[in-house]
Amino acid sequence: MSTEEKAKLSMVNQDSLSEIQQNDALQIENEDVYEKLTFVVDKGQEPMRIDKWVQMRIVGLTRSKLQNGIEGGFLTVNGKVIKSNYRTRPGDEVVYMSYVNPDYTELKPEEMALDIVYEDDAIMVINKPSNMVVHPGIGNYSGTLLNGVAFHLLQQNPDLNEEVLPRFGLVHRIDKNTTGLIVLAKTPEAASHLAKQFFNHTVERKYVALVWGNMEEDEATVNAHIARHKTFRKMFDAYPEGEVGKHAITHYKVIERYNYTTLVSCVLETGRTHQIRVHMKHIGHTLFNDQEYGGDRILKGTIYTKYKQFVDNCFDACPRCALHAATLGFIHPTTEEMMRFDSPLPLDMEAAITKWKNYKAAAHT
């Protein structure tokens, strides 16, 4: 591989959805970057090689991408990983994990400091800072986490090509301004293993958030579908009746109350885009300084000059949505051991929380 080729690792979107499915995937976008496509072989279907059968049913899926997916375990028949020469049988349930990341075709390696919490031959766990997009996309083709990961891996293996991390590495994501833990796969087998855990909701994901208002209950569960906002297409909304969108469940527990704000832990049972932000707003507790969902203004407390100045100072201390991916737990794809990682609160959230603690203490003296 030439130096120029190494500088442009191809990140190929499998383009595996039909036009209708692509539009639907945009509407139900989630934190997990694979969509499960399920098919059942008709009773009258004659035996056919599985790769040919699947390729006929997914528009834009090339034979080479499908072969790589089969080798990596992204295609199962009746719950079992199969080989390309498997011949279909009537009634077979075929499941293909399709890559549904936003469309981008190049990944330029960039040297940057990465807070790598753990790394071995199969996975990487990284503590992501705020103001960093996870992967390239429209308006963010450089400076993303994956740009830095590509550079890091090239230092380990100068012969790295596009079939390693750039294609299979990302199995979930967190928002640009959310800090905390994210796991990436270094092999297609590891990606398949991790993706299935995310599908089955067996991955432990706990977030810590500072929200507006004094939570009435010490702990509770929010169960409301999430879909694109009907008016503001860059936002999402909760649909408690479940008439649109995808089901989403968030379990929350109060950590500490500060009169007009509350520190909570949120455990995700599902992984929808903006899930915690949307669910907390839905129950009347918008995340602190969440600009997109209205948390960047005073939502609780009597607005007078001194209080407004205090809140503005808190906004300055944590100039982003106060959300941190604090815990990540999963089964290691190679060793089958349970792995669990914890990340301490970042300094900006700590600073804002300290101010609210002091405000509460002063109010009670």
User: What is d(CA 325, CA 31) in angstroms, rounded to the nearest whole number?
Assistant: 12
- 335 Cβ partners below 8 Å, 6+ apart? none
Q: What is the dihedral of CA 99, 102, 108, 111, to 10 degrees?
A: -90
Amino acid at 123: I
Q: List b or e across 316-355, with b for residues whose CB sees 16 or more CB atoms inside 10 angstroms.
A: ebbebbbbbbbbbbbbbbeeeeebebebebbebbeebbeb
Q: Can you tell me whether residue 208 is helix, strand or coil?
A: strand
Q: Which of 32, 51, 92, 175 is catalytic?
A: 175
175 is catalytic: yes
List the structure tokens of 72: 């990596």
| Residue 257 CB burial class (10 angstroms; 0-12, 13-18, ≥19) | middle
Q: Cite the active site residues.
A: 175
